[in-house]
Structure formats: structure tokens, C-alpha cells
Amino acid sequence: MVSEQEVQIIAAELAEATANRSKAETEVNWTEIRAAFDGIVDRQEKQLGSVIKEGEILTNLSDNRVMWVRFNVPEKRYFEFMALWGHNKKGPQIELDDATIELLLASGSKFKHSPGKLVTIEGKFNRETGNISMRADFPNPEGLLRHGQTGTILIHRKLKNALVIPQRATFEILDKRYVYVIGEDEVVHQRLITIEQEMDDIFVVKSGLEESDKIVLEGNRQVHDGEKSEYEFRKSVDALKNQKNHAE
């Protein structure tokens, strides 16, 4: 038989032991580091057996399921893009109706999870470069993209009802660009044209030509303004089928 006082003392000792055990389990759990998400672990800053002080970094964990790609755009292109995207102010997500953003990797190949989505545009231009920074997001399920990589952003857009001609059909005099146009009388006339867009091997003509005009595609050096010429007519589909950029 024991007294009530002894029972209370033993109960207090049991409660203290239980509390110490709970504290020890908590401290053991602190030695386990669990990531809040799946990602890529950087190099280990501390090795096994090292003394860790409060605030020291053991490693870095990167969540690269979606990669942020930042790129700079000149002021002229910025206004073109904003006109294309219709000054969308409904939210941070800008919808691209007639444009796609692709990522060209340093290896020269296109990132297969293109197109990306334009998400943010910075609030001001860089005074030194005249550029503004934009950000596009690309899904990265395989983890191919890593932080700090470089690449090239390709922005494609559809031009509707555009007049397109091969670059080799044009020639320059000083800072102006011309083509030779063949009239109904088979006489060649030099025509000044204005270029709206320039791509690898084609020009998008802003003014100076009509759909019905016949231009000299090959042999610009063999013809002269005001001369009558003999020619073989080729349809526009045949003239453009071997170009790098597709046109319908």
C-alpha cells in the first residue's frame, strides 16, 4: 500500500518522462529535412559530420516544373506587339491570338514544349539600351531546362492579307528598295516599294505593289527600266514554295 502523495509524485514523474520523450522525438524530426515540392537539388554546401550553425544554407532546391524565360524587346517591337495583342489589360496573362512564342535552345533545336505564354511585361524601359524586359513561361515536365541557361526567343505571328515577295526579287539603290514590274505591254518599269516586315528570305510589302502586278523574280541584272522583255511567267505558289518561311 502507498500513500496518495506517493501516487501523485509518481504520476508527475511519468508526465515529465512523457514530455521529455515528446521533446526528443521533435528534436529528432528536426534532423530530417523534407522538401515541400519535387525539384532539383543543388550541390551540398555541408558534408556529413559538419557542424551546422543557425542560418547556414545546406543546399538549394529548385522547382523547375515551369521555367520563367526573360527576354528584352526593343521599343519599336514593343509597340508592334502591343498593337497585335490589343492592349489586353484584363489581367497579368496576355492572350496571344495570332502569335506564338517559341524557345530556341543553345543547341539550335526548338524546345518541344513550346509555345510558351507571355505573362509579364516590366513597367519601364531601360534608358541605356532602350529595351523593355518581358517574361514568358514554358512547361518543363522532364526538367530539361535549368536555371541560368540561355536561348533565343522566337515570336511568330500570322499576317493576314499580306503581300509577300521573295527578297531576291528586290534590289537596293542607296537606302531605298525597288522591284522591276512588267506591264501589260511587256515593258519593264522600276518600282519603289516600302517594306513592312523582313524575314529570312521574304519581304512583306507595305506599299508600292498590287496583287495583280508581275515582278521580275530572276535576272534583275539583265533588265533595265523602260525596256521590253521576254519572260516566262511563274505562279506565286511556285515562286514561294522553296522559301524558308511559309506563305499561302
Q: What is the pLDDT along the chain (248 residues), one digit of tens a residue?
A: 888 888 888 999 999 999 999 999 888 887 777 888 888 888 888 888 888 888 888 888 888 888 888 888 888 888 877 766 655 444 334 444 546 788 888 888 888 888 888 778 888 888 888 888 888 888 888 888 888 888 888 877 777 788 888 888 888 888 889 989 888 888 888 889 888 877 778 888 888 888 888 888 887 788 888 888 777 787 777 777 766 655 55
Contact 92, 86 (CB under 8 A): no
Write out pLDDT tens, residues 203-222: 888 888 888 888 888 877 88
Query: What is the third-level CATH fold of 163-240?
Result: 2.40.420
Q: With b meaning 16 or more CB within 10 Å and e meaning fewer, what string describes 189-222?
A: eebebeeeeeeeebbbbeebbeeebebbbeebee
- Domain 64-157, CATH 3.40.50.300 — does that match? no
Write out pLDDT tens, residues 126-174: 888 888 888 888 888 888 888 888 888 887 777 778 888 888 888 888 8
The CA R_g of the chain, rounded to the nearest whole Å, is: 34
Q: Is 197 helix (H, G, I), strand (E, B) or coil?
A: strand
- Of 44, 69, 54, the residue nearest 149 (C-alpha): 69
Within 10 angstroms of residue 149's Cβ, the number of other Cβ atoms is 12
First to last CA, the chain: 103
pLDDT of residue 151: 87
Q: Where are the domains of the chain?
A: 64-157, 163-240
Query: Tell me, what DSSP letter sits at residue 37?
Result: S
Total residue count of the chain as it appears in this document: 248
